Amino acid sequence: MEMRSIAMKLAVLLASFVPLGLIADKHGAKNEDAFGFTNGTVKMKYNNEPYFYNVLKRNYTAAVGQPAYLHCIVKNLGDREVSWIRKRDLHILSVGVHTYSSDARFAAIHADGSEEWTLRVANVQQRDSGAYECQVSTEPKISLSFTLNVVVSKAEILTGSEVLVRAGSDINLTCKVTHAVDPPSFIYWYRGDNMISYALRGGISVETEQLTKTSRLLIARATTKDSGNYTCAPSNSDTASILVHVVNGERPEAMQSDARKAKKDKKTTSGPDRPCPVPDNI
């Protein structure tokens, strides 16, 4: 009777693993505390074999010129090695903490005792876009694919590349940073080569909103001395410039229409490769 009781208890214990497996197949990483994932295959953690952890974060975006970090977490690594592979050419970028690339922008980051193996790409370029693979030297090997998307972050002044303002009116310029992964830490404004300073004259204000990645420059009661090339320079993207003409007399709207017509006529007679000068009455 005692042997039969033990056998029944073992049967109940083994049967209890069946629903766990079904739950893992259905919900995936929601049960990652109980399961590891390798190439889509579920492995129980108690088998003491390496497996990838936190597999949901595998798509990363970085702006050109900024660093990118791909994070691979491996549990139960033991004496195996973790490698990073660039999939487009199957180039081995790193094995362990050793880098095997002539491109110094690539580096493997790992702290002693940590289960995280990070591939860092400094000064990211558009050619770095694509798939990368984190591999573990088991037999057979296991691997997990990551995708790096590289975008070009740039500034844009919403009023275009040129604007005419009547003397006595306000110069109101808005700059927006697009395709930036993180908000810029600052956005500076320049007129020519000089940074715009509140000390230059009164009536100047700059409002920068990091959340919306925009900056607004307001110059009240503009004079002809405020004419010039204005540049918006964010900390983490390309700059944008606009040519501001402060004029007396005619309405700026009418002068702008005349300027566009003159430019169009000049372009027709001068050819596409010749610069279009600003009309004489501006």
- pLDDT confidence of 252, banded at 50, 70, 90? low
Mean pLDDT throughout 12-22?
37
The whole-angstrom separation of Cα 252 and Cα 245 is 9
Over residues 117-149, the pLDDT tens digits come to 999 999 999 999 999 999 999 999 999 999 999
| Residue whose entry in the numeric block shows the structure tokens 């595998």 | 58
- The sheet that has 214-219: what strands, in order across it? 154-157, 171-178, 214-219, 204-209
DSSP string for 109-144: E--TT-SEEEEEESS--GGG-EEEEEEE--SS-EEE
User: What are the residues whose beta carbons fall under 8 Å from the beta carbon of 30, sequence distance 6 or more?
Assistant: none
Over residues 25-53, the pLDDT tens digits come to 333 333 333 334 444 444 445 478 999 99
